[in-house]
Amino acid sequence: MGNQALEILHWLSEMGDDLALSDTPIDRFAESAAARQASASRSAPGKEKPARPDLEQRAAAVRRHLNQHNQAPAGRPGIGGASATLPDAEAIASARELAAKADTLEALRDALAAFNGCNLKLTAKNLVFADGNPQARIMLVGEAPGRDEDIQGLPFVGRSGQLLDRMLAAIGLDRTKVYITNVLPWRPPGNRTPTPAEVEICRPFIERHIELVAPDLLVAVGGSSAKMLFETTTGILSLRGHWRKYKVGEREVDALATLHPAYLLRQPAQKRLAWHDLLQIRAKLDAADPG
């Protein structure tokens, strides 16, 4: 039984279920028993419907969770010394100001480390800034860090990152020849989808990041990254494989969307589409530097 429990915990961790909603444990077996008893009582004639303790406990847990995330933990004040995270509009304005002031990648990293306007920072272990060569011609932008990335503080180092490395190697590239980052520098709890507010708060930083790196080619890795960078709601299967222009400062660079390695791990048959995108990237590089 002990080994089985450990295997279940390991599986939950791999699936990203590693964040508790509450500090108070909840006995789900007791909830189930109470629910069955309540159901039996409702079915008996002349009985009033009892309260639903399972729903009440869950609602209380959610309320506690929301209250915890509406306040910054001790020792991590908000911008300007405030004890709670800022409203979205104010956080976005602050992010724009800080990003605009950063004139180097190091300054941008420092600005992100000091920024407390995004609630994702409260639950992340590490800031995940970038990896690779900032002088590279190609910049890859993913969506957000996962569990392994959050632990190591580097983008694309888990299973998805290992596949990405193999994909790059297939066209003669590695991390010394590309620069890799994410739209969001902090891991969303449980690898959940980032909210629109979280994306907009982080947008000024990733846009400044791209401007400072000034790549020749920009690759949006995955649907969420492509939608944010290209400001569209079109799905990734329609976006991928088509070159477009992305404005970086005063110039435009060639940009391409491709499938995320995590998606390819779930849908191996789609690797043929990703291979087509990789060949386009290789061809674009060779055309610009035939020697």
Domain spans in the chain, listed from the N-terminal domain onward: 86-288
Q: What integer pLDDT is reported at residue 14 of this predicted model? A: 54
CA 220 to centroid of chain Cα atoms? 13
Instruction: Give yes or no for a contact between 244 and 230, defined as CB atoms under 8 angstroms apart.
Output: yes
Average pLDDT for consecutive 10-residue bins of the chain (291 residues)?
Answer: 61 56 61 70 54 52 49 38 59 96 98 96 97 98 97 97 98 98 97 93 97 97 96 96 94 97 97 98 89 55
Q: What integer pLDDT is reported at residue 280 of this predicted model? A: 98
Q: What integer pLDDT is reported at residue 139 of this predicted model? A: 98
Q: Is the pTM of this model over 0.85?
A: no
CA-to-CA distance for 225 and 139, rounded, in angstroms? 13
Edge-first strand order for the sheet with 251-258 is 131-132, 178-182, 138-142, 217-221, 251-258, 244-248
Q: What integer pLDDT is reported at residue 287 of this predicted model? A: 92
Q: What integer pLDDT is reported at residue 208 of this predicted model? A: 98
Q: In 3D, which of 61, 54, 59, 57 has the Cα closest to residue 22?
A: 61
Residues 6+ positions from 231 with CB-CB distance below 8 Å: none
Identify the burial level of 25 via C-beta atoms within 10 angstroms of its C-beta, where 0-12 means exposed, 13-18 middle and 19 or more buried. Answer: exposed
CA-to-CA distance for 286 and 282, rounded, in angstroms? 6
Residues 6+ positions from 221 with CB-CB distance below 8 Å: 140, 141, 142, 143, 164, 258, 259, 260, 261
Q: What integer pLDDT is reported at residue 163 of this predicted model? A: 98
CA 114 to centroid of chain Cα atoms? 19
Q: What integer pLDDT is reported at residue 101 of this predicted model? A: 97
Amino acid letter, 260: H
Q: What integer pLDDT is reported at residue 16 of this predicted model? A: 52
Domain 86-288 CATH assignment equals 3.40.50.300: no
Tokens of 215: 């790549």
Q: What integer pLDDT is reported at residue 117 of this predicted model? A: 95
Q: What integer pLDDT is reported at residue 43 of this predicted model? A: 56
Q: What integer pLDDT is reported at residue 168 of this predicted model? A: 98
Euclidean distance between the first and the last CA atom of the chain, given in angstroms as a whole number: 63
